């Protein structure tokens, strides 16, 4: 059994991670660290885990021998946490700390998008889990970049649920503000743009186009829907063939022949894509669960690859499509 440690155990991503791992057939959760909730029973914070994880309490420090550590702390905290993690322990960091600058002491982090870097992930001991918007957008763009087909600017709009803002209460994720409301934020300046541009530039070496990204705050709790378009001279059928061939060996990304919606993927590690053309513009719509394929589910997917397990082990989840 793979011995698991989790740092920053009280947030949304940690809660989803525990929910996945407690039912994973190949792992054993040894320690869940939270300095703010030290000594409390885990199911008193993550109340849906009552009956699944009754006797585990939050630890203050790493007090067990583990094989892999998931870091779910706030952005900017991972280096402080890694000081206390032995070098032999594999690390999957769910923050943005190592997505761009991928080295810390003797650790070299691989960007953990399995649909892009599966073979590197299998060989790596340190993974920088991608951002939720970045995952949705990169999965929409990758097949084009691989074929060197991005010649013009890319225009993107995407809307995310309130869990994308984390558990800490603020004006813009308070129910009274979110309910019956929607707004843009960080237009053209969202932090995930850096990791998107970095990865696209590594794939398509001559990429020098602009990416115009407008994120929205949605009035729902979880999920992301992304719509992007860019100039494209190929027929719709040829584009669909490129996408379906690229994702044929990836178990969580599917190209749909019908219009897609967020509810199809909520509570799963799937990403659905829908492709259409209008005039000379190729339009790609992407949907995923920001807490699963956009965070904790992808982290487990990366762990499976690192430990030579089936990629979908513990991740065969059914959506709540009603």
Q: What is the pLDDT of residues 177-202, one digit of tens each?
A: 777 888 998 999 988 999 999 999 99
List the catalytic residues. Answer: 132
Q: Which residues contact 20 (CB under 8 A, 6 or more apart)?
A: 292, 296, 297, 300, 314, 315
Band of pLDDT at residue 114, cut at 50, 70 and 90: very high
Q: What is the DSSP letter of 196?
A: H
Q: What is the pLDDT of residues 281-316, one digit of tens each?
A: 999 999 999 999 999 999 999 999 999 999 999 999
Clarify whether residues 140 and 206 are in a common domain: yes
Band of pLDDT at residue 55, cut at 50, 70 and 90: confident
Nearest to 136 by CA among 297, 286, 298, 292: 286
d(CA 280, CA 164): 33
Looking at every residue in the chain, the average pLDDT score rounds to 91
Look up the domain containing 231 and give its range. Answer: 132-288
Give the model's pLDDT for residue 71. Answer: 93
* Phi, psi angles (nearest 5°) of residue 271: -125, 125
d(CA 201, CA 38): 43
Band of pLDDT at residue 321, cut at 50, 70 and 90: low
Q: Is residue 318 part of a domain?
A: no
Q: Is residue 232 part of a domain?
A: yes
- CATH no. for residue 106? 3.40.50.720
Clarify whether residues 197 and 58 are in a common domain: no
Clarify whether residues 182 and 302 are in a common domain: no
Q: Is residue 163 part of a domain?
A: yes
Using DSSP, state whether 43 is helix, strand or coil.
helix
Band of pLDDT at residue 166, cut at 50, 70 and 90: low
Q: Is residue 312 part of a domain?
A: no
Q: Is residue 174 part of a domain?
A: yes
* 99, 128 contact by CB (below 8 A): yes
Clarify whether residues 109 and 202 are in a common domain: no
Clarify whether residues 76 and 124 are in a common domain: yes
d(CA 9, CA 180): 31
Q: Is residue 316 part of a domain?
A: no
What is the rounded radius of gyration, in angstroms, for the C-alpha atoms of the chain?
19
- CATH no. for residue 201? 3.30.360.10
d(CA 15, CA 297): 11
Question: Whole-prediction pTM value?
Answer: 0.93
Clarify whether residues 145 and 216 are in a common domain: yes
Band of pLDDT at residue 167, cut at 50, 70 and 90: low
The answer on pLDDT for 10 being more than 90 is no
Clarify whether residues 43 and 137 are in a common domain: no
Taking residue 75's Cβ as centre, other Cβ atoms within 10 Å add up to: 12
Domain count, the chain: 2
Q: Where does residue 29 rank: exposed (0-12), middle (13-18), buried (19+ CB within 10 A)? A: buried
With a pLDDT cut of 90, the percent of the chain lying above it is 69
Clarify whether residues 153 and 30 are in a common domain: no
**Cβ burial 201-221 (10 Å sphere, 16+ → b, else e):** eebbeebebebebbbbbbbbb
Clarify whether residues 119 and 212 are in a common domain: no
Q: Is residue 234 part of a domain?
A: yes
Q: What is the pLDDT of residues 196-240, one digit of tens each?
A: 999 999 999 999 899 999 999 989 889 999 999 999 999 999 999
d(CA 62, CA 7): 9
Clarify whether residues 113 and 152 are in a common domain: no
Clarify whether residues 260 and 301 are in a common domain: no
């Amino acid at each position: 059994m793979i011995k698991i440690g989790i740092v920053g155990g009280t947030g949304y991503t940690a809660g989803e991670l525990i929910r996945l791992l407690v039912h994973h057939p190949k792992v054993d959760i040894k320690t869940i660290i939270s300095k703010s909730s030290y000594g409390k029973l885990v199911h008193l914070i993550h109340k849906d885990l009552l009956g699944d994880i009754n006797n585990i309490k939050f630890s203050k420090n790493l007090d067990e021998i583990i094989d892999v550590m998931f870091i779910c702390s706030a952005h900017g905290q991972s280096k402080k946490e890694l000081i206390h993690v032995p070098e032999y322990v594999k690390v999957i960091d769910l923050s943005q700390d190592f997505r761009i600058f991928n080295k810390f002491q003797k650790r070299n982090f691989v960007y953990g998008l399995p649909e892009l870097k599966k073979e590197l992930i299998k060989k790596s001991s340190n993974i920088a889990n991608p951002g939720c918007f970045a995952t949705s957008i990169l999965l929409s763009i990758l097949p084009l970049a691989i074929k060197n087909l991005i010649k013009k600017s890319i225009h993107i709009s995407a809307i995310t649920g309130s869990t994308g803002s984390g558990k800490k209460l603020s004006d813009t994720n308070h129910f009274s503000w979110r309910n019956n409301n929607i707004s843009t934020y960080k237009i053209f300046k969202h932090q995930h743009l850096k990791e998107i541009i970095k990865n696209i530039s590594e794939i398509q070496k001559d990429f020098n186009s602009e990416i115009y990204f407008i994120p929205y705050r949605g009035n729902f709790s979880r999920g992301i829907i992304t719509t992007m378009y860019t100039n494209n001279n190929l027929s719709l059928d040829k584009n669909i063939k490129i996408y379906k061939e690229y994702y044929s060996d990836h178990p969580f990304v599917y190209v749909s022949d019908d219009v897609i919606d967020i509810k199809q993927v909520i509570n799963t590690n799937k990403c659905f894509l829908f492709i259409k053309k209008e005039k000379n513009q190729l339009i790609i719509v992407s949907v995923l669960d920001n807490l699963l394929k956009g965070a904790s589910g992808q982290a487990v997917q990366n762990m499976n690859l690192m430990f030579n397990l089936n990629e979908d082990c513990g991740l065969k989840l059914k959506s709540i499509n009603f």
